[in-house]
Amino acid sequence: MSSEFYRERIIDHYRNPRNYGSIEDAQIKVQESNPLCGDDVELYIKLDKDGKVEDIKFKGKGCAISTASASLMTELLKGKKLDDLLSFTKKEILDALGIETLGLNPARIKCALLPYKALKIGVYRHLGKEISEEEEHLLDYEAEA
Amino acid sequence: MCTDQLDPEVIKRDFPIFKRRIYGKPLIYLDNAATTQRPRQVIEAIREFYENYNANVHRGVYRLSIEATEAYENARAKVAKFINAKDSEIVFTRNATEALNLVAYSWGLQNLKKGDRILLTEMEHHSNIVPWQLIAKHTGAEIDYIPFNEEGLLVEEEVDRLLNLGPKIVSITHASNVLGTINDVKEIVEKAHKVGAIAIVDAAQSVPHMPVDVKEIGCDFLAFSGHKALGPLGVGVLYGKRDLLKEMNPFLGGGDMISRVWLGGAEWNELPWKFEAGTSSVADVIGLGAAIDYLNSIGMDKVRAHEVKLTDYALKRLSEVPDIKIYGPRELDKRCAVISFNLPGIHPHDLASILDEEGIAVRAGHHCAQPLLNKLGVAATARASFYIYNSESDIDALVEGLYKARRIFRL
């Protein structure tokens, strides 16, 4: 896919974010921000009785990359099981955004991973689990995808 | 240079980095408020030190050490003359931040007690807020902030009202790194002295860009960074009045800052060495001396005149861009060459990324001044800041880049 495709996709999701809003009775509610650029995301996940993602929404303010990342992520995760959320990788969201094709630098990868970070913190918190030292790389912006 | 105006294209030839291509395009460097580029004269001075007379200073009796010491102290004399101070009033630090911390920890801890007041402004860089917050916590002192108005100017009635509370310390920025505002520091220093406060000036954005004379301003302390004035990274300067520096306790202890040490105690070295513990960044101090030589060869009046001209042009050109929000004062005599702006509908980070693709370096973010940005009601801005090697064509490229960003975002 060309960089033009990804660029258009990011602008499209930025201008018309999917699943934008909040969910009152969501079991997972989490807010994350990047103090460096002031980007801020709130993520809401409502699980059905089988533990599948019945609904997922986000809101917040951010740049095109972080907003598109949140929007794309909600699309990718709807209907998924809790286990799928745990195993969802950085690479999956970065690939959906076309980060490699776009040649975005580490500063912008931070923007792209802000919603992902919120997801991981939210899911772990919901499960009553601490993010272990080995799993901390999940949240590490600098680590390879 | 003997013409009335400096020629940025001629100056550019002294800066090796402008040979660099960014994505195949010439570098247009507009982040001078963060750090400037270095001319080859500065790079050469550093290389010359390491290749020809590398040694520690104030130590040896051998030839190299004497040459290193002479060059190091010679750089101090250049800095002193540059801002009209005495050599013994110039302390080398790592950066302006460390210089402000030195005053906070040394003078502040020694003189502040519970209930004393410290007066700052709402347009300070974090480096002139956080040290005072730390010292306030330590001593029980309280901090007041002079607000700024919609134009980005300090509110005069508030200056007077807050000074009447009788602060012991007044510490203000000479030129704002976000709004570009140039504050009338001479007047505020005078007023601060009338209420018995010591007056500190953060000159990080002024000393590199305009003539600054500490005697004329009358301040007790003044801080700036060499790397924002063509010098190498890693050297800052604190100017302090002799009498005050003399009474102050050292900030850091160690080698070079003592005259005598015994197991039960120590005596401090003479000024300014009392405040320079440990081995300094000798080569970089010498590099800063070369940077000052370079600026003097142009003349600070010409530097300022060039930047006023560029700022005028930039404000006009940027104002043409639909919907743009430009922060800070419009009068050129109250403004330095720093312009923060936002394009509604485009996050400053996205803007900076798109400009980067054109080889244009601008800063996007909170510029280490979060209280200021909170007041503006934004989380981030884009910022272009100019220096002697920038020309009107750089500003044309910036404006062109903003139109490109608008096209990409379909605005």
Task: Give the pLDDT confidence of B256-296 residue by residue, as tens digits.
Answer: 899 999 999 999 999 999 999 999 999 999 999 999 999 99
Choosing among A36, A40, A61, A114, which should be mutated to test the B contact, i.e. which has the most B CBs within 10 A?
A36
- Taking each helix axis from N to C end, the angle separating A3-15 and A64-77, rounded to the nearest 10 degrees, works out to 90
Q: What is the side-by-side order of every strand in the sheet holding B236-240?
A: B90-93, B236-240, B221-225, B198-202, B169-173, B117-121, B142-146
Tell me which chain B residues have a C-beta less than 8 angstroms from the C-beta of A62: 347
Give the side-chain half-sphere CA count within 13 A for B256: 18
Specify whether the CB–CB gap between B359 and B380 falls below 8 A. no
Q: Which residues of B touch A (CB under 8 A)?
A: 346-350, 353, 364-366, 373, 378-380, 408-410
pLDDT band at A35 (very low <50, low <70, confident <90, very high): confident
Tell me which chain A residues have a C-beta less than 8 angstroms from the C-beta of B350: 63-65
pLDDT band at A141 (very low <50, low <70, confident <90, very high): low
Specify whether the CB–CB gap between B228 and B288 falls below 8 A. no
Judge: B349–A61 Cβ closer than 8 Å, yes or no.
no
**Shortest CA distance from B347: residue in chain A:** A63
List, for residues B196-231, the tens digit of each pLDDT value: 999 999 999 999 999 999 999 999 999 999 999 999
Amino acid at site B159: V
Specify whether the CB–CB gap between B43 and B17 falls below 8 A. no
Neighbouring C-beta atoms of residue B253, cutoff 10 Å: 13
B91-95 mean pLDDT: 98
User: Closest partner residue to A111 among B349, B366, B378, by Cβ?
Assistant: B349
Is residue A39 within a helix (H) or strand (E), and if so which, with residue range? strand A39-47
Please report the number of interchain residue pairs, chain A to chain B, with beta-carbon separation below 8 angstroms: 44
Tell me which chain A residues have a C-beta less than 8 angstroms from the C-beta of B348: 37, 63
Handedness of CA B310, B316, B320, B321 (dihedral sign): positive
Is A15 inside any structural domain? yes
Specify whether the CB–CB gap between B180 and B152 falls below 8 A. yes
User: Which of B409, B343, B400 lies closest to A8, judged by CA?
Assistant: B409
Cα–Cα–Cα angle for B381, B387, B388, rounded to 5 degrees: 165
Phi and psi of B84, rounded to 5°? 65, 50
Specify whether the CB–CB gap between B55 and B280 falls below 8 A. no
User: Closest partner residue to A61 among B346, B379, B409, by Cβ?
Assistant: B379
Q: A35-49, B21-35, B93-107: which range is least confident on average?
A: A35-49
On whether any CB of chain B is under 8 Å from the CB of A127, the answer is no
Judge: B347–A104 Cβ closer than 8 Å, yes or no.
no
* Coil, helix or strand at residue A53: strand
Q: Which residue has the higher pLDDT, B324 or A6?
A: B324
Tell me the two tokens of residue B71.
């060059």
| B169 burial type by CB count under 10 A (0-12 exposed, 13-18 middle, 19+ buried) | buried
List, for residues B115-125, the tens digit of each pLDDT value: 999 999 999 99
ipTM: 0.84
Domain of residue A85, CATH code: 3.90.1010.10
Judge: B364–A40 Cβ closer than 8 Å, yes or no.
no
> What is the spatial distance between Cα B9 and Cα B15, in angstroms, rounded to a whole number?
10
Q: Which residues contact B208 (CB under 8 A, 6 or more apart)?
A: B36, B224, B228, B229, B230, B295, B387
pLDDT for residue A138: 67
Query: B194 vs chain A: nearest CA distance in angstroms?
Result: 40
Tell me which chain A residues have a C-beta less than 8 angstroms from the C-beta of B383: none
Is A144 inside any structural domain? no
Judge: A7–B353 Cβ closer than 8 Å, yes or no.
no
Tell me the two tokens of residue A51.
């533990």
On whether any CB of chain B is under 8 Å from the CB of A61, the answer is yes
Q: Print the SS3 string covering chain B.
A: CCCCCCCHHHHHCCCHHHHCEECCEECEECECCCCCCCCHHHHHHHHHHHHHCCCCCCCCCCHHHHHHHHHHHHHHHHHHHHCCCCHHHEEEECCHHHHHHHHHHHHHHHHCCCCCEEEEECCCCHHHCHHHHHHHHHHCCEEEEECECCCCCECHHHHHHHHCCCCCEEEEECECCCCCEECCHHHHHHHHHHCCCEEEEECCCCCCCCCCCHHHHCCCEEEEEHHHCCCCCCCEEEEECHHHHHHCCCCCCCCCCEEEEECCEEEECCCCHHHCCCCCCHHHHHHHHHHHHHHHHHCHHHHHHHHHHHHHHHHHHHHCCCCCEECCCCCHHHECCEEEEEECCECHHHHHHHHHCCCEECEEECCCCHHHHHHHCCCCEEEEECCCCCCHHHHHHHHHHHHHHHHHCCC
Q: What is the CA radius of gyration of chain A?
A: 14
User: What is the model's pTM?
Assistant: 0.93
pLDDT for residue A102: 87
Domain with A23, as residue range(s), is 3-128
pLDDT for residue A144: 42
**Per residue in B17-26, is it b (16+ CB within 10 Å) or e — as a string?**
ebeeeeeeeb
Judge: A37–B408 Cβ closer than 8 Å, yes or no.
no
**pLDDT higher than threshold 70 for residue B69:** yes
Judge: A65–B349 Cβ closer than 8 Å, yes or no.
yes
Region of residue B362 (phi > 0: left; psi between -120 and 50: alpha; otherwise: beta): beta
Tell me the two tokens of residue B57.
């200073």
Residues paired with B90 in a beta bridge? B239
Judge: A64–B379 Cβ closer than 8 Å, yes or no.
no
Catalytic pick among B2, B219, B336, B368: B368
Is A133 inside any structural domain? no
Query: B347 vs chain A: nearest CA distance in angstroms?
Result: 5
Tell me which chain A residues have a C-beta less than 8 angstroms from the C-beta of B365: 36-38
> What is the spatial distance between Cα A133 and Cα B217, in angstroms, rounded to a whole number?
54
**Shortest CA distance from A38: residue in chain B:** B379
B219-247 mean pLDDT: 98
**pLDDT higher than threshold 80 for residue B380:** yes
pLDDT for residue A145: 37
Specify whether the CB–CB gap between B195 and B175 falls below 8 A. no
User: Which of A75, A61, A59 lies closest to A21, judged by CA?
Assistant: A59
Judge: B350–A104 Cβ closer than 8 Å, yes or no.
no
Tell me the two tokens of residue B269.
């070295």
- Number of separate domains in chain A: 1
B368 catalytic per annotation: yes
Judge: A38–B380 Cβ closer than 8 Å, yes or no.
yes
Tell me the two tokens of residue B76.
């101090």
Q: Which residues contact B107 (CB under 8 A, 6 or more apart)?
A: B169, B198, B221, B244, B248
Is A75 inside any structural domain? yes
Judge: A37–B410 Cβ closer than 8 Å, yes or no.
no
Tell me which chain B residues have a C-beta less than 8 angstroms from the C-beta of A39: 347, 349, 379
Tell me which chain A residues have a C-beta less than 8 angstroms from the C-beta of B408: 7, 11
Tell me which chain A residues have a C-beta less than 8 angstroms from the C-beta of B346: 64
**Domains in chain B, please, with CATH?**
8-30+299-408 (3.90.1150.10), 43-296 (3.40.640.10)
pLDDT band at A140 (very low <50, low <70, confident <90, very high): low
Distance of CA B175 to the CA centre of its chain: 9
A42-65 mean pLDDT: 95
On whether any CB of chain B is under 8 Å from the CB of A42, the answer is no
**Beta-sheet pairing, A39-47 with A53-61:** antiparallel
**Shortest CA distance from A37: residue in chain B:** B365
Neighbouring C-beta atoms of residue B256, cutoff 10 Å: 17
Query: B142 vs chain A: nearest CA distance in angstroms?
Result: 26
Is A140 inside any structural domain? no
